[in-house]
Structure 1
Amino acid sequence: MAAAERVVLILGGTSDIGRATALAFAQSQWTVRLAGRSLPDLQREADDISACTTRQVTIHAFDVLDTASFTAFVDALPDLPDVVISVVGLLGEQPRAETDLDHAKEIIRSNYEGPALILSVFAERFLGRGYGSIVGISSVAGERGRSSNYFYGSAKAGFSAFLSGMRNRLAINGNIHVMTVKPGFVRTKMTEHMKLPPLVTATPAEVGEAVLSGLNRRKDVIYVRSIWFFVILIIRLIPERIFKRLGL
């Protein structure tokens, strides 16, 4: 299928990473569909991307916390996309989540429950059709629990495990591809209050390009930036008794 005929659906289309990913696909001549909660915000993003690339960008209302609406959302799409990418996520506030259970629930549902369930719907549709690609934006934060963000990190860990299980289940069908993307620090609105180390901090555009490249190479798991693979390898090897003292 020619690129100009291919359709990508991006869930979380108003996020910095969502917009950058949409732009990368549009520049490669894909038809882009953006989904999210705010239609006015989605329309602004769609208009900007269309102006930059002359590609068609459509918008669709989607709330990752409204799991009861997922089947109807998929049914209402103009077509079943070739690729669906979940960029949905909420960093939240760890100290607040420790005492505010509603906030803790929002973090967990936004980063794990909602993305996992909507991608499950698409997986079944792709199986029925016989092909498709599923991409989940997870995080290196899920590689090991840390005191500074264990609500967010544990949800991302669960999402990574879910994508791994789905990938193995669907491997029997060689035409369905599941890819896990694990960014480290990314300069976005969500992290603008944080002092980030330049060597391991990516831009949203880097993530978008990595997603497109990873799909073209049919990768299973990619790290953005790639140095994170080695950083995480070291972190995993630190004994728990020492890791607890680091206060990370």
Structure 2
Amino acid sequence: MNQNTGKTVLILGANSDVAKECIKQYAQKGFTIIAASRNTISLEQFTHENHLNVKVKILYFDSADFDSHQKFYNELPIKPHIVVYAAGFLVDNKKALGDFKGAQQMMLVNYMGAVSILNIIATDTSNQNLERIIGLSSLSGVRGRKSNFVYGSTKAAFTTYLAGLRQELAPRKIKVNVLVSGYINTKINAGLDLNKNLLMEADYVAKHIVNAGNSFTIVPNFKWKIIYLILKILPESLVAKLP
């Protein structure tokens, strides 16, 4: 049932497919949403098509422009109760190995930008609203594999950061979650040769974000939970044989 919770969620990197589904689901729960992205035109079109204009405030945010982050946060119309970091960038591992610009952009968006803005948000003790921070990571960051270890390293770093942030914010009763997802049917994965039996839809993944509980790690789908656990315990000699 749609009701006004009086709470605000800030979604950073709000133009991703999963983030857009989060916008719809948070709106259904009665949240006011601040959707931040470099592509504000796409977000405006999305909110108009889904009749969400009243519930969503769209702002420009560039995760890789660190110098703008403090100003962005200071000028928020209201300080958020929930923050979702959904910004992401992916290039093929061979390209990342051969051209550092691609690798650098993944580091900037997937890890460094996240740390920059989330540090600002987390250390603002004047924000009595803040109750939860959720970061979108990946199973690619669980173990280093030769097919995607550059991208995976950025997600591993982000997951480690969020684990420490959870401990840092625990005395203030602020929860921190990390969504560790497998393959999602989104534009970032378009064109990749992925196992269709393991593909999750964006709205399914978003449901796990919007309904995050107390557990730090959220792994949607029982198949991916099994894969996640196997990856955690697999000997290095066997990990090396994975693609």
TM-score range, shorter chain: over 0.9
Deviation larger for 20-29 or 152-161 = 20-29
Question: Quick one: which amino acid aligns to residue 206 of structure 1?
Answer: Y
| 1:130-171 Cα distance to aligned partner (Å, 9 max, x none) | 342111011111000011111110000000000000001111
Alpha-carbon offset, residue 120 of structure 1:
1.1
> Cα–Cα, structure 1 residues 162 and 42, in superposed 2: closer, same or farther, change >3 Å?
same
Deviation larger for 193-202 or 133-142 = 193-202
Match of 1:113 in 2: 112
**Aligned mates of 1:43, 1:147 — CA distance in 2:** 39
Match of 1:161 in 2: 160
Question: Quick one: which amino acid aligns to residue 238 of structure 1?
Answer: L
Deviation larger for 85-94 or 130-139 = 130-139
1:16 and 2:17 equivalent? yes
Q: Answer yes or no: is the 8 Å Cα contact 2:13–2:87 preserved in 1.
A: yes
Question: Quick one: which amino acid aligns to residue 22 of structure 2?
Answer: T
Alpha-carbon offset, residue 83 of structure 1:
0.8
**Aligned mates of 1:46, 1:76 — CA distance in 2:** 22
Structure with the largest fraction of helix:
1
Q: Answer yes or no: is the 8 Å Cα contact 2:85–2:134 preserved in 1.
A: yes
Alignment of 1:43-122 (within 5 A): 43-49=44-50, 51=51, 55-122=54-121
Question: Quick one: which amino acid aligns to residue 230 of structure 2?
Answer: I
Match of 1:38 in 2: 39
Q: Answer yes or no: is the 8 Å Cα contact 1:14–1:45 preserved in 2.
A: no
Q: Answer yes or no: is the 8 Å Cα contact 2:79–2:127 preserved in 1.
A: no
| 1:15-48 Cα distance to aligned partner (Å, 9 max, x none) | 1011011111011111111100022112112223
Match of 2:151 in 1: 152
**Aligned mates of 1:150, 1:3 — CA distance in 2:** 43
| Secondary structure, counterpart of 1:35 in structure 2 | strand
Q: Which 4+ residue blocks in structure 1 deviate beyond 6 angstroms?
A: none
1:236 and 2:235 equivalent? no
Q: Give RMSD over aligned pairs.
A: 1.6
Alpha-carbon offset, residue 129 of structure 1:
2.6
**Aligned mates of 1:236, 1:133 — CA distance in 2:** 26
Query: Structure 1 length as normaliser, TM-score?
Result: 0.91
Structure 2 unaligned runs (5+)? none
Query: Structure 2 length as normaliser, TM-score?
Result: 0.93
**Aligned mates of 1:54, 1:100 — CA distance in 2:** 40
| 1:92-130 Cα distance to aligned partner (Å, 9 max, x none) | 1211110111111111111111012111111112x3333
**Aligned mates of 1:81, 1:46 — CA distance in 2:** 20
What percentage of residue pairs aligned between the two structures are identical? 29
Give the total of aligned pairs: 240
| Secondary structure, counterpart of 1:171 in structure 2 | helix
Match of 1:173 in 2: 172
